[in-house]
């Protein structure tokens, strides 16, 4: 998945997408401390395994000193879940008003989602400079 936000994509590049998503599900939305070499009873080792946790820590901290990270929720977060709900209602043919009432999205935001779904572009609406 290439749509992971910032640090989660970096984590996925090091230890794989499944591990990154597990980390987001377990600690997303909070600040975590990653020591340069986590002990085997560290939460990260228990979550993704000692080898992966130590590989991740070594890469992120460069083995020098610990690192504090604010982890995003990623696709497990409320915003992602709400976008999925809006998308499903759009695809089911619900009216803009019904979607707005059910999700608390504005009609303008629903129209933008509908346009992005129609073009297949679920990324930023900013045009490329090149």
pLDDT digits (tens, 9 = 90+) for 69-84: 999 887 766 777 788 8
At residue 2, the pLDDT reads: 54
At residue 41, the pLDDT reads: 96
> Largest Cα–Cα distance of the chain, in whole Å?
55
At residue 44, the pLDDT reads: 96
At residue 124, the pLDDT reads: 47
Show Cβ contacts of residue 9 under 8 Å, excluding neighbours closer than 6 positions. 2, 20
At residue 127, the pLDDT reads: 54
At residue 29, the pLDDT reads: 86
At residue 76, the pLDDT reads: 67
In the chain, where the domains are located? 6-74, 77-119
Joined together, the tokens standing for residue 125 give 């609406």
| Residues of the chain falling short of pLDDT 50 | 1, 124-125
Residue with tokens 């497990």: 76
Find the helix or strand (DSSP H, E) in which 69 lies: strand 67-70
- Any idea how long the chain is? 130
Q: Give the CA angle between residues 120, 5, 34 to the nearest 5°.
A: 160
At residue 1, the pLDDT reads: 43
């Amino acid at each position: 998945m290439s749509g992971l936000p910032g640090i989660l994509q970096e984590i996925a590049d090091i230890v794989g997408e499944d591990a990154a998503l597990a980390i987001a599900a377990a600690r997303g939305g909070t600040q975590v401390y990653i020591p340069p070499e986590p002990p085997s009873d560290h939460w990260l080792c228990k979550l993704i395994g000692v080898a992966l946790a130590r590989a991740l820590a070594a890469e992120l901290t460069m083995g020098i000193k610990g690192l504090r990270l604010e982890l995003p929720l990623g696709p497990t977060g409320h915003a992602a879940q709400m976008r999925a709900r809006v998308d499903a209602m759009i695809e089911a043919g619900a009216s803009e008003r019904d979607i707005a009432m059910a999700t608390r999205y504005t009609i303008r935001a629903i129209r933008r989602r509908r346009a992005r779904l129609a073009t297949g572009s679920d990324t930023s609406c900013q045009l490329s400079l090149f």
